[in-house]
Structure 1
Amino acid sequence: MTTDHRSQPRPVTLEHVARAAGVSRATVSRVINGEATVDPRLRKLVEEAITQTRYVPNRAARSLVTRRTDSVALVVSEQEQRDITGPFIGRIFTDPYFGRVAGGLLDVLRPRGVQVVLMLADDEASRAQLLGYLQQGHVDGVVLISSHAADPLPGLLAGTTLPAVLAGRPQAAATASLTYVDSDQVAGARLAADHLTSIGRRRLGTIAGPQDMPVAQERLAGFRGALEERGLREVAVAEGDFTQASGGDGIRALLARRPDLDGVFVASDLMALGAVTMLHRLGKRVPEDVAVVGFDDSSSALASDPPLTTVRQPVEEMAAEMARLLLRQIAGGSTDDGDGADGGDGAAPERPSSSVLFRPALVVRGSA
């Protein structure tokens, strides 16, 4: 039995999509490559045409020409030998922040056929192994979550030509070339201070994050600075580690130092959930006795009883912006359309200097 290949449907190409959308082939290519310079109206036409024609990019041909893998790494880097509750990998999957980042990345990358590879590094050996893997071309770029000022990985990445976007502002001069996305942590903490004082709370404390982490330093500085402007310089401080258990321990420590505490700013919702739970156990009413404000507006805020008043940083939107910035860097290295007809020369992409800072917002619920 022979097969009549003439009866088999021919694959849909960029030309088919371009004709369906009424645009040029080059415009279709730019949309598929995630370039930010495409007019939104034309982008919508192309995306509708892709759906209509059921176009599937020729990933094999594209990879041969561009040497791109259509995958990016989400790298979570943790400082070595931190005294923190639970194993590293366990914390990754229980902290709402990481899931929100992954969701925001996938919203942008998945429709473009780009896969996300989760990679973890928590000591010198794993960082060296990870850097070797990245430099061997297994992924097209990196989104890096690195929380500690002493972490060498951002500096190591900055010394390569690999497209990379950092979650959070770089802390060292050696990493200044890295593109980043962050929210204004100081401004967010000031919102918490403004709210607590506006509802008449004066005997205040805070459960800060680990002070070797720039994000925790900025939130503590913002809270203290706003209170000092109001003449409130005596602020009780306990340090947690962004886990729920440390929030409970932190509120115990604050009450031991200041039994008349009537308001507390907690540097993450997960810690705030632990603080509220412990306050209930100690016979304290929330918010009547102690008002609580968290930070993040994560799922932990709604799991609390009462639901947390919190400072919202739009993590999903921030992650989506990280993905767009990374795609822009990757596209800078090649403009191939994926059909193997013509493409870039494989040169290393230049890192754009543009970075994005999001503004936080206060979400008022029942805890304060």
Structure 2
Amino acid sequence: MAKRQVTLDEVAERAGVSRSAASRAINNAPNVSRVKREAVQRAVEALGYVPNATARALATQQVGSVVLAISGEDPALLADPFFAEVVVGISSVLEETDLELVLSLATSERGQARLAQRLRTRQADGVMLMSLRENDPLAALAHQADVPVVFGGRPLGFEPSYYVDADNRCGGRAATEHLVATGRTRIATITGRLDEGAGTARYQGFQDALAVAGLDASRIVQGDFAEDGGAQAMGELLARWPDLDGVFVASDQMAIGALRVLREAGRSVPDDVAVVGFNDISAARHTVPPLTTVHQPIQALGREMARMLLAVLAGEQPSPLILPTRLVVRASS
């Protein structure tokens, strides 16, 4: 019987270091302390570990940074509570390594050119891409990149090898089922961008739930995941369907805007209109009334993206990962 191959995880555990530090020490990469190198070497000798050839090739070329590229132009995106929590999750993993995180807004021509140059000249060891839209130029950059790429969310139009996503469709369905269960029959939705995977999946969940309930699913206005967009969409919904009694809003930021418009229109929440959001950002607990929402583990999304990228850098081929969502019921419904 063939002897079982010792894994890099086992070496790292025995040495008391992170997976990335173990990989870099084994492959003589820079920025690894002498203490860590010696601990890893002892673990390798004790366990009889044989380095993976692909991992060695990748590790010896590392420059010490990874990029989080977001498809967007507005610098305010980086202050958005969702992306801020993603960055916290990524950083918590990278803190255990010698890799630095570089943030990039890469929708403008200048931003794309800067990212392309960084990848072409191997000024980064890997890339994490988020918020890609259908036919997004960043997808082409990813295909051409000579470094590992991990996607945050499944993009529309193709299935990447490596991605981490939340179960957006299940979350949208749970939100809408909750509105149905509370007796709402004239239910509307403010979708996210429908040229993004998350927006499309949440809308599909809304349609799924209303189809099962035998209710009309035509009350829809598209939003943009931003607070002002949610406010504008809520105003349009009220103008077109003034008798609506429930609304599923595809992000908490948009739901905050929707609540403001409902209040200004004299609609009581939840007596007149029940509202459910998505994401469960910290502000959802402090709206008036507190927002019922779908919780997705945002920091975990960032952590798992970083872990997946580190695994690819170590020569592994991890499977795509879908994180669960769950409904959090508060006073808005």
Give 1:277's match in structure 2, choosing from 257, 260, 264: 260
Q: What is the CA distance between 1:27 and its match in structure 2?
A: 4.4
Provide the residue aligned with 2:324 in structure 1.
Answer: 359
Provide the residue aligned with 1:89 in structure 2.
Answer: 75
Do structure 1's residue 244 and structure 2's residue 231 form an aligned pair?
no
Larger radius of gyration: 1
Contact map agreement 2:164 2:304 (CA 8 A) in 1? yes
Provide the residue aligned with 1:144 in structure 2.
Answer: 129
Contact map agreement 1:105 1:320 (CA 8 A) in 2? yes
Unaligned runs of 5+ in 1: 1-22, 37-52, 79-86, 333-349
**Matched residues, percent identical?**
40
Do structure 1's residue 116 and structure 2's residue 101 form an aligned pair?
yes
Amino acid at match of 1:245: D
Aligned length: 296
Provide the residue aligned with 2:43 in structure 1.
Answer: none
Q: What is the CA distance between 1:70 and its match in structure 2?
A: 2.4
Do structure 1's residue 301 and structure 2's residue 284 form an aligned pair?
yes
Do structure 1's residue 209 and structure 2's residue 203 form an aligned pair?
no
State the superposition RMSD in angstroms: 2.6
Deviates most, 196-205 or 24-33: 24-33
Provide the residue aligned with 1:167 in structure 2.
Answer: 152
Q: What is the CA distance between 1:234 and its match in structure 2?
A: 4.4
CA 1:192–1:177: 2 relative to 1, 3 Å? closer
Give 1:127's match in structure 2, choosing from 102, 106, 112: 112
Counterparts of 1:30-49 in structure 2 under 5 Å?
A: 31-33=18-20
Contact map agreement 1:76 1:144 (CA 8 A) in 2? yes
Amino acid at match of 1:122: T
SS at match of 1:253: helix
Contact map agreement 2:104 2:111 (CA 8 A) in 1? no
Amino acid at match of 1:153: L
Q: What is the CA distance between 1:56 and its match in structure 2?
A: 6.5
CA 1:300–1:26: 2 relative to 1, 3 Å? closer
Contact map agreement 1:177 1:353 (CA 8 A) in 2? no
Do structure 1's residue 71 and structure 2's residue 58 form an aligned pair?
no
Counterparts of 1:170-185 in structure 2 under 5 Å?
A: 170-173=155-158, 176-185=159-168
Deviations 1:47-80 (A, max 9, x none): xxxxxx995679xxx9xx82322221111123xx
Amino acid at match of 2:332: S
The runs of at least 4 consecutive aligned structure 1 residues that moved more than 6 Å come to 23-26
Give the alignment's TM-score, normalised by structure 1. Answer: 0.74
**Alpha-carbon separation, structure 1, partners of 2:22 and 2:242:** 57
Unaligned runs of 5+ in 2: 1-9, 24-32, 39-55
CA 1:227–1:25: 2 relative to 1, 3 Å? closer
Q: What is the CA distance between 1:122 and its match in structure 2?
A: 1.5
Give the alignment's TM-score, normalised by structure 2. Answer: 0.82
**Alpha-carbon separation, structure 1, partners of 2:240 and 2:189:** 12
Q: What is the CA distance between 1:35 and its match in structure 2?
A: 7.1
SS at match of 1:97: helix
CA 1:182–1:249: 2 relative to 1, 3 Å? same
Amino acid at match of 1:160: A
Do structure 1's residue 28 and structure 2's residue 48 form an aligned pair?
no
**Alpha-carbon separation, structure 2, partners of 1:215 and 1:163:** 23
Amino acid at match of 1:304: T
Contact map agreement 1:34 1:331 (CA 8 A) in 2? no
Give 2:249's match in structure 1, choosing from 255, 266, 275: 266
Contact map agreement 1:34 1:327 (CA 8 A) in 2? no
Counterparts of 1:323-342 in structure 2 under 5 Å?
A: 323-332=306-315
Q: What is the CA distance between 1:190 and its match in structure 2?
A: 0.3
